[in-house]
């Protein structure tokens, strides 16, 4: 990435921290043993895996023995959902929300289409707030799982997982929390949340891509997605990627410690929004009335296509994400914008800015200038 590039797409992925790369390197070149070998190199690798497990447990507020390493959030979500469905529960209903990540929603839709479950979806309000009354009505004696994300990836809105967990448990159901976007951005305590399963992914908090974790509350059982040597509590057979796990452990510890200073990131996000709000009446902010991640701003540029704004910013050296996607020649709002019932002029112009703890005030100020330059010369569309 050019030195002058401003990266504000951290909800998509993050750069690997220098300390994480340093922690990983010895396990490629020196301590390269299989973590299940009993010789010295194997024992060193095993210790690294268990150190990482302890660090992840501290990050999400659980016991190390409840942490199962995965390749990513998508796998962790699948292991939970598919693992419970394949266990053939007597109940058939799964309840989720209208703003879940596709790794949850697409999987549930596929399982529903196969006739294996009955799926119910709780709606959200115009700023992404979960309709808890609707959730209470949907969770009943037929429900075996409720799956809800802790923080929405497009808007940053924080959902009331603890309240949903109580609803689920009162009905005898289990609670899965997709905490992929929340990890290392807000404190997570799996016990306080009442979560039975928690999913995280390392590349969202400066660990390498291809490594994540799933918390499985002690005493609960899942059917593995595949079988083999029985690693990771028998739930994920295969030789552990020790370098990546060592990196994940360091990233988890760094992220947990950095939470105390995360208000600085929030202040930068607020600075970005204030400048944009003052500069144009044709801008609105999605999710801004709700509790949300301090690093995320979802901005609607009314009358402009999000893709146009993203491309213009890219040319100016600013990386952000569009909130609308092109399908078969048609540009449509995301499922999240549709679930929030945003009008077309807001939904089609939704752009996500997501900061990291490495973002600087100078970068935000430069980004604001680039945004104003980018949108001022663009022809507006009639919707």
Active site residues: 326
The two tokens of residue 13 are 């992925």
Q: How many CA atoms lie within 13 A of 54 on its CB side?
A: 6
**30 vs 117: CA distance, rounded Å:** 48
Per DSSP bridges, beta strands 212-216 and 197-201 are antiparallel
Distance CA 70, CA 232 (A): 9
Find how far residue 131's CA is from the centre of its chain. 21
Could you tell me if 352 and 296 are in contact, meaning their C-beta atoms sit under 8 angstroms apart?
yes
Contacts of 223 (CB under 8 A, 6+ apart): 82, 83, 84, 86, 87
Residue 17 in contact with residue 25, Cβ under 8 Å?
no
Could you count the other beta carbons within 10 Å of the beta carbon of residue 315? Answer: 10
- What is the CB neighbour count within 10 angstroms for residue 30? 10
Report d(CA 179, CA 167) in Å as an integer: 19
* Tokens encoding 227: 């079988």
């Amino acid at each position: 990435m050019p030195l002058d590039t401003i990266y504000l797409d951290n909800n998509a992925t993050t750069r690997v921290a220098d300390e994480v790369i340093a922690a990983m390197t010895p396990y490629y070149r020196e301590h390269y043993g299989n973590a299940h070998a009993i010789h010295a190199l194997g024992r060193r690798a095993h210790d690294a895996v268990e150190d990482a497990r302890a660090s992840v447990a501290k990050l999400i507020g659980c016991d190390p023995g409840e942490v199962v390493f995965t390749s990513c959030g998508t796998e962790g979500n699948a292991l939970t959902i598919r693992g419970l469905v394949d266990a053939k529960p007597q109940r058939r209903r799964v309840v989720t929300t209208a703003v879940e990540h596709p790794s949850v929603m697409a999987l549930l839709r596929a399982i529903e289409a196969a006739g294996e479950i009955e799926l119910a979806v709780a709606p959200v309000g115009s700023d992404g707030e979960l309709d808890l009354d609707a959730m209470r009505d949907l969770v009943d004696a037929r429900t075996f799982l409720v799956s809800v994300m802790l923080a929405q990836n497009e808007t940053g809105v924080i959902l009331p997982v603890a309240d949903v967990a109580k609803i689920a448990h009162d009905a005898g159901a289990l609670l899965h929390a997709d905490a992929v976007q929340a990890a290392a951005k807000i404190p997570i305590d799996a016990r306080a949340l009442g979560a039975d399963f928690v999913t995280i992914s390392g590349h969202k908090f400066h660990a390498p891509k291809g490594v994540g974790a799933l918390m499985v509350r002690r005493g609960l059982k899942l059917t593995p997605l595949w079988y083999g040597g029985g690693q990771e509590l028998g739930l994920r057979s295969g030789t552990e990627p020790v370098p990546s796990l060592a990196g994940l452990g360091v990233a988890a510890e760094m992220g947990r410690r950095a939470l105390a200073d995360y208000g600085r990131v929030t202040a930068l996000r607020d600075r970005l929004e204030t400048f944009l709000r003052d500069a144009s009446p044709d801008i609105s902010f999605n999710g801004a009335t709700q509790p949300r991640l301090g690093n995320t701003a979802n901005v609607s540029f009314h009358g402009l296509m999000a893709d146009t704004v993203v491309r213009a910013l890219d040319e100016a050296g600013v990386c952000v994400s569009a909130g609308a996607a092109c399908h078969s020649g048609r540009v449509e709002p995301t499922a999240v914008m549709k679930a929030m019932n945003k009008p077309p002029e807001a939904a089609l112009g939704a752009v996500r800015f997501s900061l990291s703890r490495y973002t600087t005030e100078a970068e935000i100020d430069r980004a604001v200038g680039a945004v104003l330059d980018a949108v001022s010369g663009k022809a507006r569309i009639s919707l």
